[in-house]
Amino acid sequence: MIDLHCHTTASDGVTPPGELPRLAESQGLSAVAITDHDTIDGVQDFLDAACIDVIPGIELSAQGPNGENIHLVGLFIDHTAAPLLETLETLRRWRDERNMRLLRNIIDTGVDITFEEVSALSDGVIGRPHIADVLINKGYCKDSQDAFRRYLGERAPTYVQKEALPYGKAIEVIHASGGLAIWAHPMARTSMTNTKFKKILADFVAAGLDGVEAYYPEHTITRRMTVEHEAEVNGLLVSGGSDYHGGSRHVGVLPGGFSNGAPLCVPDELLERMKRRIKAR
């Protein structure tokens, strides 16, 4: 059992990078990947703490063919590669600018919140979940869902769209760092129809996509099978992971997935196929 999609305190998770391998081992995993949002700040600590097979990775925010927000996981990256570091510096600047605009919009509604309060909750990249935590801690929102509904989500009046890399550039950067580019949770949104998925996937394949994430907590069995089928048709790798951040979601465990309600586990052979693809390069 493996987990190729996990977050740490380097972005918006609750587990320090150096503790993730041991946590994964305690869950019975044979391998785990660190895939923090738009940062590699925790990768070295993660690698240094290896007690099982560890895969350096990242999750890049990107813009899809029709302007939609999509995420690409990069696995087996060289976290010291210059093209990657240069891109991440640009993304960090974009994120900081967006956060400041978002905070100003929230403050304009009468909310007493500062950038310093948000920054104090982050060990690395600052994201909307950190803003949500401050809003909750100060009593403005009852929970994260409430914070995103009222202030942080796409339909909130204070929302600010984040600049994102074109998907082709994101794939290019992952490849330049020696990694495999995986489309993360492609069917998690209810608005993603099979027709739309196939159309976007065709564009991604033309741009050099290596694989798709089929095993994911929000993927129904039917949707997982659809992703697996299209991966086979297009000669793509299949990946999977819990998208662990903390809370009720656990490393290596994907809720549901079988008719008897048993947890859905990501099989080891998916990682072996990736290693063969890397070696073949």
d(CA 230, CA 249): 27
Half-sphere exposure of 156 (CA within 13 A, CB side): 20
d(CA 2, CA 271): 8
Whether 254 shows a pLDDT value over 90: the answer reads no
- Confirm if 72 and 59 have CB atoms less than 8 A apart: yes
Whether 126 shows a pLDDT value over 80: the answer reads no
Sign of CA dihedral 212, 215, 218, 222: positive
- Please tell me which residue, 180 or 265, carries the higher pLDDT value: 180
Domain count, the chain: 1
Question: Which pLDDT value is given to residue 90?
Answer: 93
Asked whether residue 219 is domain-assigned, the answer is: yes
- Please tell me which residue, 253 or 200, carries the higher pLDDT value: 200
Asked whether residue 171 is domain-assigned, the answer is: no
Distances (CA, A) of 257 to 215, 222, 238, 240, 243: 9, 10, 16, 13, 15
- Over residues 96-112, the pLDDT tens digits come to 888 889 989 999 999 99
Name the nearest CA neighbour of 216 among 253, 261, 260, 179.
253
Confidence of residue 67 (pLDDT cuts 50, 70, 90): confident
d(CA 212, CA 228): 8
Percentage above 70 pLDDT, the chain: 95
Whether 252 shows a pLDDT value over 90: the answer reads no
Whether 212 shows a pLDDT value over 80: the answer reads yes
Asked whether residue 162 is domain-assigned, the answer is: no
Q: In the chain, count H helices and then E strands.
A: 10, 8
Mean pLDDT confidence for 176-194: 93
d(CA 200, CA 181): 15
Whether 269 shows a pLDDT value over 60: the answer reads yes
The shares of helix, strand and coil residues in the chain, as percent rounded to the nearest 5, are 40, 15, 45
CB neighbours of residue 48 within 10 Å = 11
Asked whether residue 119 is domain-assigned, the answer is: no
Asked whether residue 76 is domain-assigned, the answer is: yes
- Over residues 46-64, the pLDDT tens digits come to 999 999 999 999 999 999 9
Asked whether residue 169 is domain-assigned, the answer is: no
Distances (CA, A) of 216 to 3, 148, 186: 10, 22, 9
Question: Which pLDDT value is given to residue 218?
Answer: 85
Mean pLDDT confidence for 194-202: 94
Whether 144 shows a pLDDT value over 80: the answer reads yes
Helix (H, G, I), strand (E, B) or coil at 203: helix
Confidence of residue 124 (pLDDT cuts 50, 70, 90): low
d(CA 86, CA 96): 16
Question: Which pLDDT value is given to residue 257?
Answer: 47
Asked whether residue 224 is domain-assigned, the answer is: yes
Question: Which pLDDT value is given to residue 249?
Answer: 78
216 phi/psi in degrees, rounded to 5: -155, 145
Question: Which pLDDT value is given to residue 123?
Answer: 65
Whether 216 shows a pLDDT value over 70: the answer reads yes
Range of the domain at 81: 2-87+178-280
- Average pLDDT over the chain, rounded to whole? 91
Here the contacts of 90-99 (C-beta below 8 Å, separation 24 or greater) are: 91/38, 91/60, 91/61, 91/165, 92/38, 92/39, 92/125, 94/162, 94/163, 94/164, 95/38, 95/125, 95/126, 95/127, 95/162, 96/126, 98/160, 98/161, 98/162, 98/163, 99/126, 99/127, 99/131
Residue at 242: amino acid letter: S
Confidence of residue 261 (pLDDT cuts 50, 70, 90): very low
Asked whether residue 229 is domain-assigned, the answer is: yes
Confidence of residue 275 (pLDDT cuts 50, 70, 90): very high
Question: Which pLDDT value is given to residue 174?
Answer: 98
Half-sphere exposure of 75 (CA within 13 A, CB side): 32
Kindly report the CATH number assigned to the domain that includes residue 22: 3.20.20.140
